[in-house]
Amino acid sequence: MNKVVVIMPTFNEAKNIGGMIEKLVDKEFPKIKNAQMHLLVVNDLSKGKDDGTGDIVRQAIKSRKNIHILEDEKRGLGWAYIRGMKYAVKTLHADAVMEMDADGQHPPEFVAPMVQSFLDGADYAIGSRYIPGGSVPKEWPVFRRAVSFFGNLFIRVVLLKPRLHDLTTGFRLTRVEGVLDKIDLDKLMEPSRFAYKVDLLYQSVKSAKKVVEVPLEFRPRVEEASKFSTKEMISTFKVAIILGIKDKQKFFKFGTVGFIGYIVNALGIYFFARLGWAEWMIWAVATELAIISNFTLNNIWTFKAEKITGFIRLINKFVQFNLTSTGALVIQTVVGTLGVNAFGPRYRQILLPFIVVFLILPYNYLMYNLVIWRSWKLPRFFKK
């Protein structure tokens, strides 16, 4: 049976943790029949002390077999999850882990649908407040709603994740095999902050084949105050921006390689013409040299993370690469001819850059990422 470990970080949650254990472990877990459910509390201390949270959990452990606790000096929310995730995987042998708040803002009855989506094949389930069925507290003032909504919208745009609706939620499920085990938790960005979750989401969505958003009704906090602050918010945006730029670096390299290819092409034409070659040979050889240059540079630079190696595979992929380049030739010929027919020959030179920028570049980038180097896994997004 699959084992799911709910990781719950606590920092002075004595007023909440007892009730949470009763509702989650005693009432909700038994309802989940086809998964083995465990709760792992990651309690943080301040100068070796807490408000009694740890004692309440240890008391609960005495009469229950599926509760565990880790305790350490406070280093921040990200570190708490890193410790919890490592323990859940290595010691508890979890098949999936969940992230969940202890303060009741993530209602325990929303755990079952998350687990169900995992059992139905989801690699990554996001408890989403911004899809039908999900919500933020009615009590939230307009300002707080706006910050959360626009903050999310901003991260969606920066990370180019238009199909996901909630990128900062603290309620998520991650499959260990193929997703969590691909992530180097020691290298997470901003591990001492809430911002850790943006990096984790970014990396998880990259590896997950099936990403699901499950509605979450985010409740108001009843006891104690939130530990979120403006500092946390700013660092969250910072992480999103850095990740966004990293993503675009690849596109920049791709563009540079394309430009070098153009130079190679032009130089080839120049030299082969001086050698007095037949016209078709000048063009054919110069074009092929550019294709070779593009293939090689993209392989060792742009897509170095997905680098193609081995003689046979290189040959195979190089043939594929030539085929996709032929595709670009077809697009350019067809659209160029149609364009000149429609607007007249005077527009030939104006048409070219438009065709290159709006058709050829996107086409090539798509083919490289999807077919040649396969760096995009095209996650399937589902709503439940």
* Shortest spacing between CB 189 and ligand GDD, in angstroms: 14
Tell me how many residues contact ligand GDD (CB under 6 A): 23
Instruction: Choose among ligand GDD, Mn ion, none what residue 95 binds, the Cβ cut-off being 5 to 8 Å by kind.
Output: none
Contact 53, 94 (CB under 8 A): no
Give the whole-angstrom CA distance, residue 25 versus residue 5: 11
- Which of 3, 15, 23, 227 is close enough to bind ligand GDD by CB under 6 A? 227
Site string for Mn ion, 207-246 (x = CB under 5 A): --------------x-------------------------
Site string for ligand GDD, 102-141 (x = CB under 6 A): xx-x------------------------------------
* Shortest spacing between CB 227 and Mn ion, in angstroms: 8
* Shortest spacing between CB 380 and ligand GDD, in angstroms: 25
Question: Which CB atom, from 197 or from 250, has the smaller least distance to Mn ion?
Answer: 197
Window 33 to 52, contacts with ligand GDD (CB under 6 A): 42, 44
Window 137 to 196, contacts with ligand GDD (CB under 6 A): 168-170, 194
Between CA 100 and CA 109, with CA 104 as vertex, the angle to 5 degrees is 75
* Shortest spacing between CB 26 and ligand GDD, in angstroms: 19
- Which of 25, 80, 98, 179 is close enough to bind ligand GDD by CB under 6 A? 80
Residue 72, strand partner residues = 44
Beta strand pairing call for 96-99 and 172-175: antiparallel
Question: Which CB atom, from 20 or from 291, has the smaller least distance to ligand GDD?
Answer: 20
* Shortest spacing between CB 191 and ligand GDD, in angstroms: 11
Angle between the N-to-C axes of helices 142-158 and 230-274, in degrees from 0 to 180, rounded to the nearest 10: 20
* Shortest spacing between CB 90 and ligand GDD, in angstroms: 19
77 near ligand GDD, judged by CB under 6 A: yes
DSSP string, 245-311: HHHHHHHHHHHHHHHHHHHHHHHHHHHHHHTT--HHHHHHHHHHHHHHHHHHHIIIIITGGG---SH
Give the whole-angstrom CA distance, residue 331 versus residue 360: 8
* Shortest spacing between CB 124 and Mn ion, in angstroms: 22
- Which of 6, 7, 13, 308 is close enough to bind ligand GDD by CB under 6 A? 13
Contact 176, 87 (CB under 8 A): no
Give the whole-angstrom CA distance, residue 365 versus residue 96: 34
* Shortest spacing between CB 233 and ligand GDD, in angstroms: 9
Radius of gyration of the chain (CA): 27
* Shortest spacing between CB 362 and Mn ion, in angstroms: 42
23 near ligand GDD, judged by CB under 6 A: no
Give the whole-angstrom CA distance, residue 83 versus residue 86: 5
- Which of 10, 12, 53, 105 is close enough to bind Mn ion by CB under 5 A? 105
Amino acid at 258: G
Instruction: Choose among Mn ion, ligand GDD, none what residue 294 binds, the Cβ cut-off being 5 to 8 Å by kind.
Output: none
74 near ligand GDD, judged by CB under 6 A: yes
DSSP string, 34-90: TEEEEEEEEEEEBTTB-SSHHHHHHHHHHT-SSEEEEEEE---HHHHHHHHHHHHHH
199 near ligand GDD, judged by CB under 6 A: no
* Number of CB atoms found within 10 A of residue 205's CB: 21
| DSSP assigned state of 186 | G
Contact 282, 269 (CB under 8 A): yes
Question: Which CB atom, from 77 or from 158, has the smaller least distance to ligand GDD?
Answer: 77
Residue whose pair of structure tokens reads 């609960």 in the numeric block = 60
Instruction: Choose among Mn ion, ligand GDD, none what residue 10 binds, the Cβ cut-off being 5 to 8 Å by kind.
Output: ligand GDD
How many contiguous H segments (helices) and E segments (strands) does the chain have? 11, 8
Which residues sit at the interface with Mn ion, rule CB under 5 A?
Answer: 101, 103, 105, 221
Which residues of this protein are in contact with ligand GDD, per CB under 6 A? 9-11, 13, 42, 44, 74, 76-77, 80, 101-103, 105, 168-170, 194, 197, 221, 226-228
